[in-house]
Amino acid sequence: MKNLSFFLFSAVILGISAFDTCPRESCEDSCKNRCGKKLDKSYGCQCNPHCERFGDCCKDYHLCLYADPSSNEVIQPIDEPENSCKGKCGKKYNKKDSCHCNKKCVKFNNCCPDYDTLCGGGDKDAANSEATSSHSHNKNKGKDISNEEIKAMSEKIYELDENRAEDSDIILNKQNAAERTGNKEDLCDEPLYKYVNEEILSRPTYKAFIELTNNYVRKTGTDEEYTPEEIKEQEHFLKEIMKTKLMKELYMFFHKKEMYKTEKEFVDDLQKMWFGLYSRSSGEADSSGFEHVFVGEVKKGKVSGFHSWIRFYLLEKEGLMDYYSYNYDGPWTSYPDVLGKQFHWDGFFKEVGSQFIGSSPEFDFSLYSLCFISRPGKLCKIRLGGHELGIQTYEWTKSTYPNGKKYIATAYPVVSTSM
């Protein structure tokens, strides 16, 4: 398995510049250590969001979009998280905001995940002590789990994914890479998936996953309501994935940390955090973590979420998915791999989206759950096959389920150049 440096060097040969091609701290024609920096005319190209508008981005600017959000190279997240207090501390309540950044948010348990960090903490008023305690408990969830334990656990999940695709099961046709993602240019005439061995889709966990994907209306603002049959499908999916070695290993990991007493308690919590409905739009219960992450949504005319390769393949097969280009291809030479790409979903554009490719449904579900439970609302550093990357999760903060727990807002792979 080639290492990341070799991959990036190879990418240059193919015409896709990467940070490792620049040997110095910063170079005139590279975004190395310059992602998000203000205009600097001493450089021949720029590395901030404005460069796409003015057409002066460095050739490796697309890698900034996949930088580690905790590093100096971050300029924007891959998804469209709206739940941040950046520039909003003390702002009055606005029902259109997904979370809030004033003292009352502690009382109503709807603060943005970075409220404490950016706005100086919660309300000290005694009347709010109970809410503050609940907020702090949720915020501290998983704090006794070290980064190394998470990396070791993610490697176990990677090793135990017996349902992953083999090299011969999937043939990708990546075609052309995009240097600029915002111009919505279709650089690929052919589908992304040249071949998929559909026998793997008939495996129990795949089949149970696919049955869930038609239970949602993709446009936010449209009320969702589960039928008894759909709830049974959720329970069936959880039952099937809990039969796998990797999900049993994940439960034991949290059980040893005394976070769940029984497997039933663990599964019940997964069902609430992933499938619990909440409102992303106009007060309707129109969304859930599962729908956003795995099925995909459309909000304000753009694709939001959508991080499942299985879902992508099936829609592409139906003629509803138009693959535009890719701008990141991970260093893994077997599956699971990570691919960042641009696409149109039945008329709606996704500018920057990342997905694991060739992974089983339980693999994606377990990694995202590991990180959401251990590092809710933060970058979670994991390791797969010796290569490190991140999983970014965000909590839904406008509503909670029993015991003040937060729903999953989103989760997706984040590629770092500095891990």
Which residues belong to the active site?
292, 307, 350
| Beta-carbon contacts of residue 228 (< 8 Å; ≥ 6 apart) | none
Contacts with 41 (C-beta within 8 Å, 6 or more apart), sequence order: none
The values of phi and psi at residue 204, to 5°, are: -50, -45
The pairing of strands 170-172 and 193-196 is antiparallel
* Cα(396)–Cα(409) distance, integer angstroms: 5
**Would you list the DSSP string of 100-144?**
B-STHHHHHT-B-TTHHHHH------GGGHHHHHHHHHHHTTTTT
Rounded to an integer, what distance in angstroms lies between the CA atom of residue 334 and that of residue 168? 10
How far is residue 352's CA from residue 79's CA, in Å, rounded to a whole number? 7
* Closest by Cα among 303, 346, 306, 353 to 327: 353
Label residues 209-229 b or e (16+ Cβ within 10 Å = b): bbbbbebbebebbbebebeee
Q: d(Cα 4, Cα 1) in Å, to the nearest integer?
A: 10
- Please answer whether residues 243 and 305 qualify as being in contact, where contact means their C-beta atoms are separated by less than 8 angstroms: no
Strand partners, 352: none
